[in-house]
Amino acid sequence: MKIYIDSSDIKEIKNINKTNMVDGITTNPSLIAKQNKNIKLILKEICQEVKGPVSAEVAAISIDDMIKEARILKRIAKNIVIKLPLTFDGLNACSILSRKGYQTNVTLCFSASQALLAAKAGATFISPFIGRLDDIGENGSQLIFDIKKMFDNYKEIKTKILAASIRSAEHFCEVAKAGADIATIPPKLFHNLYKHDLTDKGLKAFLDDWQNTNQKIE
């Protein structure tokens, strides 16, 4: 499973990208707004740092305006992916842009039927939001299982499942088990994934034993 970082903070992205584990980036209007900088400058910096796909979301709601914004965003860098809302106009825009060779990410997916329509529209990625489903008492991770099973039934579907709204290590592991192609996670969660109390205790014990015997690696 590939790992994308859900952030528009270039400092956070650069720090995590040092690990060579970052396969791509997802952004949205809320994340962009936090930086208090022009969207073009933010995305240009990110695309220079990360060579994988970088999702940039349109703010328009009509087909014509979505297409117009997509053209502007695409000129920023070759690895820009146009992020579109899962609405009637968004699906129409996805279909048009996909036929023109744009990479697209259809976002705010909450059902398997929505995912199938996005795939039919030629979406490069579909972004199911599992955390928000959990918020309303549904099983968000089950949606990844359902979409994966559906897509596996049809060889012509090339759309990648990009699991989003991931809020915990448990979510991360669940979507991996479900067969998500990609998980996009906030920087804070990335750093939580490698942490465990027993790891810390074990390392302390090793170092204590080492120091007690005055060992050195020279």
Give the residue numbers marked as catalytic. Answer: 83
Diameter of the chain measured on Cα atoms: 72
- CA–CA dist 203, 132 (Å, integer): 37
Work out whether the CA dihedral 35, 37, 39, 44 comes out positive or negative. negative
Helix (H) / strand (E) element for 126: namely strand 125-128
Residue type, 38: N
Residue 54 carries which DSSP code? E
- CA–CA dist 168, 180 (Å, integer): 16
Q: Which residues contact 111 (CB under 8 A, 6 or more apart)?
A: 143
Q: Which residues contact 193 (CB under 8 A, 6 or more apart)?
A: 169, 172, 185
